[in-house]
Structures are given as C-alpha cells and as structure tokens.
Structure 1
Amino acid sequence: MSASYKFQGWLGLDKDSVKGKMEWKEYEPKTWTEDDVDIKITHCGICGSDLHTLRSGWGPTLYPCCVGHEIVGTAVKVGKNVKHFKVGDRVGVGAQSSSCLDCEECAAGMEHYCSKGNVGTYNGKYPDGSKSYGGYADYCRAPAHFAVKIPDGISSAEAAPMMCGGVTVWSPLVKNGAGPGKRIGIVGVGGLGHFGLLWAKALGCDEVVAISRTYSKKEDAMKMGATKFIATEEKGWNKTNSRSLDLIISTVSSPKMPIAQYFQLLRTNGQFIQVGAPEDAIPSFNAFALIMKGVKFGGSAIGSPADIAEMLAFAAKHKVHPFIQERPLKDANQAVIDMDNGNARYRYVLVNEKHAAEEKA
C-alpha cells in the first residue's frame, strides 16, 4: 500500500448494509503489479448492481465489500507496462476489472464474456487471491487494461454512469443494428432505460419508443429522445402497437413483467434483448411467440473496454448528456436508500468533493 494515500471507503459488512449501514473503513487493495493503475476517485455512479450485491441478492457477497463500478478519477500511479494513458489523465473503470486475456472471447475483444471467468470491479477475487474493491471510496486500484481514458468534452460526473449503465445499453443497441431505418423500443425509463433513449436518439433511429408501466415518466422520456410512449397499464397496449418495433432492449427485471406481450410488439425477425438482471426468474412464455415471427430472444452484459471507449467517443462527439443527480460521497448511505426507493432521476453520482475540488484547482 502506498505511503502517500490510503485505500478507504464505504464498506458493506453484511446484507443489512443496503439499509444505510455501510461503514467507512480502510482496506487492503489488490496486490500491485506493473499492469495496474491507482485512481484518485472524483466520481462514482450508483448502479442497481450495488444494491443487489450489498444485500447478497445475486448470491453470497464477499463481505466486507466496497461497491461502486462506475468509477472516474485521476490516475495517480501507473504501472510500467501501461501505454494507453499516463499519470494525471482522467480515467474510468466499469463493472469489470480483470479477465484471462487469453481465451477465445478475450482474444476477440469480448473480455466481458471471458470463458474462464472475469473479475468484477468489486466483490471479486483476482488470481492471486486478493479482493477487488469498488468506487465508494477515495482510491481504486485495478488492472489498467480495464481502465479507459475519458475524452475531453465529457465531464467526470457525466462519464461515471456511462462506465456501466451507459455501456450496458449502448452495446446491445449498436451490436444489433440500431440506427437509421430502425424502430427501437426501450422497456423501463430508469437508470439504464434513460441511457437507451438517449443513445437510440443520437444513433438516428427512425422511432424511439419508451415503454413503461405508467405515464408518470412520459414527459422526461420525450426530453430524452423518445418519439412515442407506451404505458402498459393502458388496456390493449400490446395489440394497438403490434408488429411495430425491430428491436426491444429490456432494462427491467421482474417475475411479473409481461414478456409475452412485449414479443407482440416485435416485427417479423425482430429481436428482444434482456439487460436488466433479476434476482428472480423471468416469467415463462409460449415458444410460439418466437417461432411464428422468427423473433430472437437474447441477452447482453455490460461491454468490453473497447466498447466503453467507443461509447465515450460517441457521447463526446454527439454531446450526449445523461440525466444525473450528484450526491456527496459522505452521504452514500442515504443515497443508497434513495436509490433503493426508486427516487433517482435518473442516475445518482457520488462526488468525492475533496478530490473533485483538487481536480478543478
């Protein structure tokens, strides 16, 4: 551990930590190698994954755990083997911080689908046995292969939620042909869904349809780029909009989601891509919903470092601005509670105020 700075942050000690009971403590970061980077964190987005992990919703969490994988800050120590950025550069780290870099998937630039298993930016273990700790903290140490330089034209606060939330929706849109001539549906107008609307609009899709349970977020959705809004509380919504979309990205996850009705919105050879990660199983559906129209049902997880870099360059060029609310890092416990209560509009970003001030100085 460096003598000049300490690794300390908000640690979840048990599943009740999601109730605002994280504790500020020092911890031992991963063992340093010359392939690593130490980041002085200025901003960290709050992701739904943080809540799932704090409460052990996806399985037993490796407590103590410092969550946060939408990290942006300044590189303060860079390993000798790192060539794509230097000390003093703004860099970001998303949900993944390691993979084997040797398997077929990694060789093809799909590190996030590493067949030998990847290491999450938090709640993971590196091959040497050291733990990964996230961004509700002062500093982060991670393998530099998974750190991306932040381009000029994007503020650190806006870049942070793009590192996971942004790329989670960017990747399936781009890889499934979103653009001119396509009609896109985004299920859920939340942290992920709002990015879907922003990206689809900026990509030049012919129609961008926001799909939500009620009309409460319609005004915001239209500001984000939606050209149409579907509320599933309205009777007959699926029949009225039947065969109208080429691609649907679902950012919600619920055992009660009307998945069979969503399929009805797809045109022949349409695609439904699930990115919302549930703690419960999704509802069953009749296979004929897929068979009779050649519909494809798939999934997508985060994105590779190259995907993140491509997304950031696009955001800078097209001036895409996420809808964020900045919260002081010292108030992380309350911010997590508010996030769990669905109050974010539409992504909370924790600000390490001391470090952010030093960045501006």
Structure 2
Amino acid sequence: MPNTRSLISKTPSAKFEKGDMPLRAMAPDRVAISIKFSGICHSDIHQVRDEWSEGIFPMVPGHEIVGEVTEVGSAVTKFKVGDRVGVGTFVDSCGTCYPCIAGRENYCRTGNTQTYNGKHYDGEVAYGGYAKDIVVKEHFVLKVPTNIDFAASAPLLCAGVTVYEPLKHWKAGPGMKVAILGLGGLGHMAVKFAVAMGAETYVLGHSPNKAQDAKDMGALEYLITVDAMETHKDFFDIILNTTSADLDVDALLAMLMVGGSLVNVGLPGTDQSYNPFSLVTGLKSIAGANTGSIHGTQEMLDFCGEHNIVSIIEMVDATDPAAIDAAYERVVGSDVKYRFVIDAATI
C-alpha cells in the first residue's frame, strides 16, 4: 500500500508529529490528488481531543482540502491531470438510501464515510487532508474555480457549504432579513453568502470588536446580541446560528417574524431548551443543517467563482508540527480571523 507524508495525532490530545501514513490505492473510479492547502476546522480539534466520541488513532485530520489532480482511474470522466479540485467532509456514501438517491449524501442513512476518523466500506481507515496526498472516488471530488484564491478556497469545502446550503434552503435573498449569529469561521462565510444572495444581512455578536469587519463584508449592522434581543423583536426572517455557545433560545425566537426560522449549524456542547409557546404563537421553526451534498458543494463553489467569494485566512507553516498545536489553541480561544489554512508544501 502506498504512503503519504502526514501530520499525525497518535493518541487523543497528543502533540502533532510528522510521519508516513497509508494512502488509499488507485482504482478505476478514483482520483489521486496532490494536496496544496488544508483548512483547520474546529471539528478537527473536537475529534483529535476525543470530545465528541472515541476516535480512531493514529488520526490524520482535515476535511477542507484543495489540490491538483495527479492521476485518474480508467473510468474517471470528469477530471484530468492538473485540474484544481477540492474534497470536503465525506468521501463515500451508500448511494442507495433515499437521501443519497435524492442527492443528499451528507444525510446518508447507512452512514457516509467521513474524510477522516472513519472507515471506508471495505474496512480501511480514512485519513484526511493534513497530508501531501489523498485518493478519492470521482463522485466525491469537486471542481474549484480557477479565478479564486486557491489557499483561501480550502475552507469553502466545510465552512462554506455548511452555511451556504441552509441559506439557500431557507431562501435567503431579496426582501429577507437575515441575522448571522457569530462572526467566526462559519459566520464570516455566512455573511458573505447572505449579502451576495441579496438578503438584508445583520450580524449578532457578543463584542463590538468585529463590527467593522462585519460591515466590510457587507452587513448592514453589527448588533450586540443581548441588546438586540430587546430592540429587534419580531424582526428577522432567518437567524442562522453558527456558534457553539449555550443560547437563550426563547429570546432568539422572539426576534423572528411570523413564519421565521432559527437554523442551527453550530453545535453547543450541552442540550438547549425552549418554551413551545415561543413557536406556536408565531408559526416559528427551530431547524438545523449538516454540511452539504456533493451537488450543493459544487454549486456553492461555482457561486464563489461567480461572486469572487473566499474565506479570510491565516496561513500555517507546518515545517514544525508544533505550529498546528499552536493554531488549535488559538482556534479554541477564538483568536483567528477567520480560518487557519495549512500550507501542505511544508508538511
């Protein structure tokens, strides 16, 4: 089995090390990719630290991957050597359950194969994008527009599509008032998308230090959440929650207009509660979404190409693996504007 140079976490919360890890073998329907850049997602930290469930170690995280095609299998038709491509949060699905048939592979009822910290259907462990190379089935490879910054496009493969698909599903657009709760890795992408979709876009945050950033991205106002809960009742059509904080759900629901939706893409660490009267008195909904489908991810990337949308990033030189550990600590401390991206040439 071939190998590829990788950044490895050998045990939960261990410091990152460099080493060679197995690379999935080529097959007629697979594409080999030389990774150029890999985003750091907060979910990488949760999984490396065993905060969600028991992980598979050694682990190579990373599911915001962009690179260039180096080889294609004999049955591959959509890609050729040299193409700019991306890989997101999963690399296979059953293809036969009703969500898969409907093109919603991210909700595969059999359970899709996560890009890392999971297993392929043949039992092989999946290793992610903190590496030099990856081999992926053609269907799960995306085309990255050539006119957008390559490094800054990496976070689109998770952070981007995670907010794009719900904004589209809940019809953000002209005539709609949309609030983005939280201006972090997910939130700043949501602001850019909502503005490009034509929605009247606001940001709800806890500190005024990001107010100018929000306005530079096109938001009409940056509102302090606790104050806006009093001043902006019955105001928004959509509130998109991108945070992992505990919420006053009833107060947020009170900010929605009749028929409005509170949509969660952030994942708080504890259960959240609400009073059913907050829903029934205003035809309101609490909803959620999980990353995006393959079709939706490609649509999002094409939208980014049309509107020149990419993430705001800080580049990480991984020559010393300790740089990844330091980046993780800064993510946990909300000390990044707005997404870290690893330069794979330094792995």
Both structures adopt the same fold (TM-score exceeding 0.5): yes
Letter in 1 for 2:6: G
Pick from 216, 219, 222 the counterpart of residue 226 of structure 1.
Answer: 219
Pick from 308, 325, 328 the counterpart of residue 333 of structure 1.
Answer: 325
2:301 aligned with 1:312, yes or no? Answer: yes
| Aligned partner of residue 40 in structure 1, secondary structure | strand
Aligned residues: 344
Q: Percent identity between the aligned chains?
A: 35
- The equivalent of 1:240 in structure 2 is 231
2:66 aligned with 1:72, yes or no? Answer: yes
2:30 aligned with 1:16, yes or no? Answer: no
Pairing 1:240-259 to 2, within 5 Å after superposition = 240-254=231-245, 256-259=246-249
Letter in 2 for 1:318: H
- The equivalent of 1:160 in structure 2 is 154
CA distance in 1, matches of 2:102, 2:304: 24
- The equivalent of 1:322 in structure 2 is 311
| Aligned partner of residue 142 in structure 1, secondary structure | strand
CA distance in 1, matches of 2:226, 2:314: 28
2:341 aligned with 1:352, yes or no? Answer: no
Q: Is the 8 A contact 1:198 1:322 kept in 2?
A: no
Pick from 26, 30, 33 the counterpart of residue 39 of structure 1.
Answer: 33
| Aligned partner of residue 193 in structure 1, secondary structure | helix
Pairing 1:82-161 to 2, within 5 Å after superposition = 82-161=76-155
CA distance in 2, matches of 1:80, 1:277: 41
For residues 176-208 of structure 1, the C-alpha deviation after alignment (integer angstroms, 9 at most, x for no partner) is 101111110101100000001000011111x10
Shift of 1:111: 0.6
Q: Is the 8 A contact 1:214 1:233 kept in 2?
A: no
Structure 1 residue runs of 4+, over 6 Å off?
none
CA distance in 2, matches of 1:209, 1:143: 39
Mean alpha-carbon deviation: is it higher for 323-332 or for 130-139?
Answer: 323-332
Q: Is the 8 A contact 1:82 1:144 kept in 2?
A: yes
Pick from 264, 271, 279 the counterpart of residue 254 of structure 2.
Answer: 264
| Aligned partner of residue 275 in structure 2, secondary structure | coil
Q: Is the 8 A contact 1:259 1:285 kept in 2?
A: yes
CA distance in 1, matches of 2:309, 2:143: 17
- The equivalent of 1:200 in structure 2 is 194
Letter in 2 for 1:30: R
Q: Is the 8 A contact 1:30 1:131 kept in 2?
A: no
2:279 aligned with 1:282, yes or no? Answer: no
| Aligned partner of residue 91 in structure 2, secondary structure | strand
Letter in 2 for 1:13: K
- The equivalent of 1:188 in structure 2 is 182
CA distance in 1, matches of 2:103, 2:171: 19
What's the TM-score once normalised by structure 2's chain length?
0.96
- The equivalent of 1:52 in structure 2 is 46
Letter in 2 for 1:351: D
- The equivalent of 1:343 in structure 2 is 335
| Aligned partner of residue 39 in structure 1, secondary structure | strand
Unaligned runs of 5+ in 2: none
CA RMSD of aligned residues (A): 1.4
- The equivalent of 1:358 in structure 2 is none
2:208 aligned with 1:215, yes or no? Answer: yes
For residues 239-285 of structure 1, the C-alpha deviation after alignment (integer angstroms, 9 at most, x for no partner) is 2100110011101122x32222111110000011100123x223211
Shift of 1:31: 4.3
For residues 59-111 of structure 1, the C-alpha deviation after alignment (integer angstroms, 9 at most, x for no partner) is 00101110010000011121222211112111100111110011111111101
Shift of 1:232: 2.4
Mean alpha-carbon deviation: is it higher for 128-137 or for 322-331?
Answer: 322-331
- The equivalent of 2:22 in structure 1 is 28
Q: Is the 8 A contact 1:121 1:142 kept in 2?
A: no
Unaligned runs of 5+ in 1: 356-361
CA distance in 1, matches of 2:318, 2:172: 36
CA distance in 2, matches of 1:203, 1:46: 26
Mean alpha-carbon deviation: is it higher for 22-31 or for 286-295?
Answer: 22-31
